[in-house]
Amino acid sequence: MPVWVRDYRWHQTPEAVYLTVPVPAPVRAGIFCTEQYLKVNSPPFLFEAFLYAPIDDVRSTAKIKDGFVLFILYKKEAAMWKSLIMENGDKEKMQRIREDAVRKAQEDAKAEAEAKGTRKQERSKFALEATIKLEDAERKRIEEQKEEEREKATKEIEKWKEQNEKQKKVQEKYQSHQEWRKTLEKSKQQNRKMKSNRGTVKSSTMAGATSSGNMFSEKLKEESVPAPRSAGSIEIKFTPRAFPTALRESRIPEEEEWLCKEAEARRIINSDIAEIEDLKEEEKNPDWLKDKGNKMFATGNYLAAVNAYNLAIRISNKIPTLYLNRAACHLRLRNLHKAIEDSSKALDLLTPPVPNNAKARVKAHVRRGAAFCELELYAEGLQDYIAALKIEPTNKKVEEDAEKIRHVIQGNE
């Protein structure tokens, strides 16, 4: 049997009624209020009132405090009531009021449920559209990256073809040179042979000069072989090879490609070194650059802070704080994917996990979780917040944010 609460207190003005209902037990079942019906249910205690005149149940309020419930009931018509509840109320009329109140509450609950369903559908539609946009952007980025890789591969193939053509020309020139050397050697042998024959003819002519006289001398002049052309030498210089292997054993296109890549890498390294050497002495200190970036971040100049952190990372890429601070800048600039990358890099450097780097690991998880949530990847974001809570369970702010993310996930579901 319920225990009826009778010792309530109330006072009024022409516009409103102020009612205090003592409730010894905590209010568990709830409060029910319509135009002419008021009910407080906290088993085993029960308070029920059929009001003297209609009230504006939309504007009226109820506050639950320790041991009592305070109502502020705004009257529909400004007037002073003779009493709080109906005088000599008819049971049938009271029953009708109660039923009307219950029916109206059910209709309001149904309308609220439909409105909630509509809002949920709208949120789901919005989330789906956002996901589609992200997927389209990612697909476009992948297509652009594929196109760049395709163009790069085409250029490399064209370059390889040009190098191959050049190499063929060099080989043809080399073969032509070998053939020319063979021809020259053959010509020298013939010249030596002709010189030998000429000496033999000359000696025989000298031996028979006493008997034959000038007649044979004239005949020999007519039949003598003309003198060979003067011999010479041609100097050929070959381009020195970068690899010690013989030409017939080498793979020239692959060697040329390797040399080009090595030269490009050396050029990039030398340019970075030259750029760093041109800096002032204090600008070569990563700690000084980190402090400068922190000051820029504090003044809201996030792009300048990112530039300072970038230069510090180029000087020393093993300091996790630089990646943490740059992730915070990317969060402010809405560069969410870069914020996730920097937070992950910081977590990689913060190993092994020890108490000295606990706060830094908490920041890294929270910033990466925030970036995931901004991308509406709430499940991944919640995992990072849970990881941060495991490291620092007493952090109330992180706990509240994690609870909000859970509510968002449950609302989407």
Peptide bond before residue 352 is cis, with ω within 30 degrees of 0: yes
Residue carrying structure tokens 């296109």 = 253
| CA distances to 70, 159, 379 from 393, in Å | 37, 59, 20
- 87 near 117, Cβ under 8 Å? no
Whether 115 maps to a domain, the answer reads: no
Q: What is the dihedral of CA 139, 142, 143, 144, to 10 degrees?
A: 120
**CA dihedral over 310, 348, 367, 361, signed as positive or negative:** negative
pTM of the model: 0.37
Write down the pLDDT at residue 211: 45
The tally of domains found in the chain comes to: 3
Q: What CATH number does residue 71 fall under?
A: 2.60.40.790
Contacts of 55 (CB under 8 A, 6+ apart): 17, 35, 36, 73, 74, 75, 76
Separation between Cα atoms, residue 335 and residue 306, nearest integer Å:
11
pLDDT of residue 227: 64
3 state SS of 124 = helix
Contacting residues for 47 by C-beta, under 8 A, at least 6 apart: 4, 5, 8, 21, 23, 38, 39, 40
Integer Cα distance of 296 and 77 in angstroms = 61
Residue 163 lies in a domain: no
- Residue 285 C-beta-side C-alpha neighbours within 13 Å: 7
Residue with tokens 């709208």: 122
Residue 243 lies in a domain: no
**pLDDT given at position 212:** 46
Do 309 and 270 lie in one domain? The reply is no
| Any domain includes 36 | yes
Asked, for residue 126, whether it belongs to a domain, the answer is: no
**Whether residue 337 sits in one domain with residue 269:** no
Same domain, 333 and 259: no
Compute the distance between CA of residue 99 and CA of residue 65 in angstroms, rounded to an integer.
29
**Mind giving me the DSSP string for 197-246?**
HHHHHHHHHHHTHHHHTHHHHHHHHHHPPPPPPPP------PPPPSS-S-
C-alpha separations of 265 from 273, 274, 275, 280, 396 in Å: 12, 14, 15, 25, 49
* Residue for token pair 């890099």: 345
Would 288 be classed as within a structural domain?
yes
412 token code pair? 């989407």
Full domain range(s) for residue 61: 3-89
Collapsing DSSP to helix, strand or coil, 383 comes out as helix
| Terminal CA-CA length for the chain | 41
Residues 328 and 385 in one domain: yes
Q: Which of 309, 298, 296 is nearest to 338 (CA)?
A: 309
Q: Are 373 and 258 in a shared domain?
A: no
298 plus 364 within the same structural domain: yes
Let me know whether 337 and 357 are in one domain: yes
pLDDT of residue 270: 55
Residue 225's CB: how many other CB atoms inside 10 A? 10
> Does residue 384 lie in a domain region?
yes
What per-residue confidence (pLDDT) applies to 30? 74
Same domain as 72, residue 38: yes
Q: Are residues 352 and 269 in the same domain?
A: no
The verdict on 362 and 306 lying in the same domain is yes
- Last residue of one domain, picked from the residues 244, 276, 308: 276
State how far the Cα of 342 lies from the Cα of 320, in Å rounded to an integer. 9
Shared domain for 25 and 66, answered yes or no, is: yes
**Residue 280: predicted pLDDT:** 61
- Is the domain of 271 the same as that of 345? no
- Domain of residue 365, CATH code: 1.25.40.10
Q: Which of these, 13, 17, 49, lies nearest to 32 by C-alpha position?
A: 49
In a domain, 246, yes or no: no
**Where among 32, 64, 89 does a domain terminate?**
89
Rounded distance between C-alpha atoms, residue 162 and residue 156, angstroms: 10
Per-residue pLDDT of the chain (413 residues; tens, 9 = 90+): 677 777 888 888 989 989 888 887 665 557 878 888 888 877 777 788 888 888 888 888 888 877 788 888 898 888 888 888 876 667 777 778 778 877 887 887 788 888 888 888 888 888 888 888 888 889 899 999 889 888 888 888 888 888 888 888 887 877 777 777 777 787 777 777 776 665 554 455 454 444 444 554 555 555 555 666 677 777 777 666 555 555 555 566 777 777 777 777 666 655 554 455 555 666 678 888 899 899 999 999 999 999 889 888 888 888 999 999 999 999 999 999 999 999 999 999 998 888 899 999 999 999 999 999 999 899 999 999 999 999 999 999 999 999 999 998 888 75
How many alpha carbons lie under 13 Å from residue 154 in its C-beta half-sphere?
6
**Residue 172 pLDDT:** 80
Q: In the listed set 58, 89, 120, which residue is the last one of a domain according to the structure?
A: 89
